[in-house]
């Protein structure tokens, strides 16, 4: 098992502040050390890169090496204001601008039940806010306000990379009977029984609410709730290579994402808001 690259910030036994900015691989990262959990955010993308409740193994996977510029692979990238490829501009980056830009940290606070953070990004006539509550659980809420006087289209995702012992020893339950689309075979699908992703998976399910990630190698179960987003995306590259990621690392994650507007873009009227949420907790 490879150690999470960002656990390096928590090896010192000295008393640490709850929030501390550090510089790592040419990015500004916010290191969070609370009695209930440890976490790391990147200012670029307001991206939660590491989350680990006390006494547990890490919940999120992150690549050991990051590109000098561009998106960081791992954690929970905010894919916004489009998810996947842009519907008309092929030269624009996949998954939108939000994960490439620096966000403002408007507020951070600590309490007995964990930490709360409020990140914000202003882009043209859009405002997007990310609220995080981290403690024994992980809660992320994304809110978009359309401030233009014309209608617009939007798609978005909280693209979570979950850390696992081995991709060949996991199963997802809670999707039984869900209708979806298999992007590898390019055909509709319906999930029968538990979903196993060893060998590759890229499916978009018409599903919201809770599912269970059963990790037999680490003998744990995480409950993941994609809220009322409308779509739950399950992805793993299988044998396909990923730029900047070693073969050993590829076996250590699976993506289970909350998404909205990926099939049919959301249409926002002037002043209208769109919401997306992702929560997780350890099964009892």
| pLDDT tens-place string over residues 98-122 | 999 999 999 999 999 999 999 999 9
Cα distance between the two ends of the chain: 24
Cβ density class 139-170: b for 16+ within 10 Å, e for less: bbbbebebeeeeebebbbbbbbbbbbbebeeb
Q: Determine the average pLDDT of the residues in 252-265.
A: 85
pLDDT beyond 80 at 13: no
User: What pLDDT is recorded for position 119?
Assistant: 98
Q: Determine the average pLDDT of the residues in 118-140.
A: 95
Distance of CA 280 to the CA centre of its chain: 11
Q: Residue 71's pLDDT band (boundaries 50, 70, 90)? A: very high
Cα separation of 281 and 284, whole Å? 9
- φ, ψ of residue 182 to 5 degrees: the values are -90, 110
pLDDT beyond 60 at 96: yes
Q: Determine the average pLDDT of the residues in 131-155.
A: 90
Residue 175's contacts (CB-CB under 8 Å, 6 or more residues apart) are 191, 195, 205, 207, 211, 232, 234
Average pLDDT value over all residues in the chain: 91
User: What pLDDT is recorded for position 228?
Assistant: 85
Q: Which residue has the higher pLDDT, 123 or 25?
A: 25
Nearest C-alpha neighbor of 143 from the set 106, 93, 182: 106
Q: Does the model's pTM come out above 0.85?
A: yes
Q: Which residue has the higher pLDDT, 127 or 88?
A: 127
Write down the residue that tokens 């999470």 correspond to.
Answer: 4
User: What pLDDT is recorded for position 265?
Assistant: 66
Cα separation of 117 and 245, whole Å? 29
Judge contact between 253 and 164, C-beta under 8 A: yes
Lowest mean pLDDT across 6-20, 55-69, 160-174: 6-20
């Amino acid at each position: 098992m490879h150690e999470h690259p960002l656990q390096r910030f928590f090896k010192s036994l000295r008393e640490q502040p709850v929030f501390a900015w550090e510089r790592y691989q040419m990015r500004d990262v916010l290191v969070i050390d609370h009695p209930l959990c440890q976490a790391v955010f990147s200012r670029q993308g307001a991206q939660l890169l590491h989350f680990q409740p006390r006494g547990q193994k890490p919940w999120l996977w992150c690549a050991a090496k990051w590109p000098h510029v561009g998106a960081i692979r791992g954690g929970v990238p905010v894919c916004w204001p489009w998810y996947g490829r842009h519907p008309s501009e092929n030269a624009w980056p996949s998954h939108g601008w939000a994960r490439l830009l620096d966000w403002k940290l408007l507020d951070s606070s600590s309490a007995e039940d964990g930490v709360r953070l409020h990140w914000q990004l202003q882009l043209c006539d859009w405002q997007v806010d990310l609220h995080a509550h981290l403690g024994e659980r992980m809660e992320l809420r994304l809110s978009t306000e359309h401030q233009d006087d014309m209608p617009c289209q939007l798609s978005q995702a909280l693209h979570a990379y979950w850390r696992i012992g081995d991709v060949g020893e996991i199963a997802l339950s809670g999707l039984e009977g869900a209708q979806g689309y298999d992007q590898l075979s390019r055909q509709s699908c319906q999930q029968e029984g538990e979903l196993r992703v060893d060998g590759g998976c890229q499916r978009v399910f018409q599903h919201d609410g809770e599912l269970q990630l059963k990790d037999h190698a680490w003998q744990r179960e995480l409950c993941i709730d994609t809220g009322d987003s409308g779509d739950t995306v399950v992805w793993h590259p299988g044998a396909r290579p990923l730029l900047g990621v070693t073969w050993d690392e590829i076996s250590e994650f699976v993506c289970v994402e909350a998404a909205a507007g990926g099939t049919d873009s959301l249409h926002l009227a002037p002043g209208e808001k769109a919401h997306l949420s992702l929560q997780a907790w350890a099964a009892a």
